[in-house]
Amino acid sequence: MIGRRQSAPLAALTLKFVTVAGLSIGTALAAGPSAHHAAMNQPHKPFQIYGNTYYVGMNGISSVLVTSDYGHVLVDGGLPESAAQIAKNIEELGFKLNEVKAIVFSHAHVDHVGGIAELQRLTGAQVYALRPAEPVLRTGKLAKDDPQAADKSQPIPKVDRVWVATDGQLLGVGGIRLRVYATPGHTPGSATWTWDACEGSRCLNFVYADTLTAVPGAKYRFKDHPDVLAGFEQSFKLLETLPCQLLLTPHPDEATLAKLEQAGGDADALSDESACKNFAQARREALQKHLAEAR
């Protein structure tokens, strides 16, 4: 396995606009964080996406299980209240919780890492994070340089055991090989994970890309942080160059989940060689629009 354990005090289908149960993100946020999270946290029936890769997440918060005969990897852990449903989904697919050997994640906000502490307790898995995200899991507090650090948010349950991974490193669990790439912007420690999933001799390049949206907290202006803007562009360029046939992101909409399910594991229906390039360009344009409109 990759990484170095941090000592305890002493981590194909593009998404355009997230809609959960008919409630747009903008509407949900206007109603407050609790309503926003509740809307996204509605259960979703688990299903096989392709090969050894399964969707085990919620209606609007992704969680993906990558499996092998000698251990599994869980990508993203949802909210604290998502953990029990994610665990149930894993078992409903016929996998044992103690076979989950590693947990990784996209970025350290409560809707993606809030359930990790409980999922680690249930599975005994090692948790991996890029260095900027590791203190967030260990302390339960957002980093000061997180664009949303000034906002009040649901607490993140502290994770006891976290190993530090580095940009470009390979994680090996059983027959699984996942590679992590730093994709800063949405948070300083945002990560994108890649792996291959196969059915017989036909393999697809999976990319689990971080959100890459500019979401400012109270009094935060991206214009005042050229280093963060440079991080976004670094991330866009990376996604444009990655081998990518099936793109997953942390917040699926209902249409995306329906397409994944309806494909029924058909590689031709799932594969989209332009998915990551289109996603990166859409996110770049959204950032430019945000900067143009920001005061």
Q: Which domains does the chain have, with CATH numbers?
A: 11-32+41-293 (3.60.15.10)
Q: How many whole angstroms separate alpha carbon 135 and alpha carbon 181?
A: 18
Residue of 287, 187, 181, 198 whose CA lies nearest to 246: 198
Give yes or no for a contact between 275 and 246, defined as CB atoms under 8 angstroms apart. Answer: yes
Checking if the pLDDT of 212 tops 90, the result is: yes
Q: How many whole angstroms separate alpha carbon 72 and alpha carbon 44?
A: 20
Q: What percent of the chain has pLDDT over 70?
A: 89
- Looking at residue 80, its amino acid is P
Average pLDDT of span 261-275: 97
Q: How many whole angstroms separate alpha carbon 40 and alpha carbon 62?
A: 10
Q: Virtual CA dihedral for 158, 30, 279, 248, nearest 10 degrees?
A: 50
For 171-196, write each residue's pLDDT tens digit. Answer: 999 999 999 999 999 999 999 999 99
Checking if the pLDDT of 8 tops 50, the result is: no
Q: How many whole angstroms separate alpha carbon 96 and alpha carbon 10?
A: 32
Give yes or no for a contact between 65 and 103, defined as CB atoms under 8 angstroms apart. Answer: no
- Looking at residue 270, its amino acid is L
Radius of gyration of the chain (CA): 18
Give yes or no for a contact between 253 and 15, defined as CB atoms under 8 angstroms apart. Answer: yes
What pTM was computed for the model? Answer: 0.90
For 70-85, write each residue's pLDDT tens digit. Answer: 999 999 999 999 999 9
**Angle, CA 254 vertex, CA 249 and CA 259 arms, to 5°:** 80
Distances (CA, A) of 168 to 75, 131, 144, 224, 275: 17, 13, 25, 29, 21
Residue written as token pair 């390049």: 205
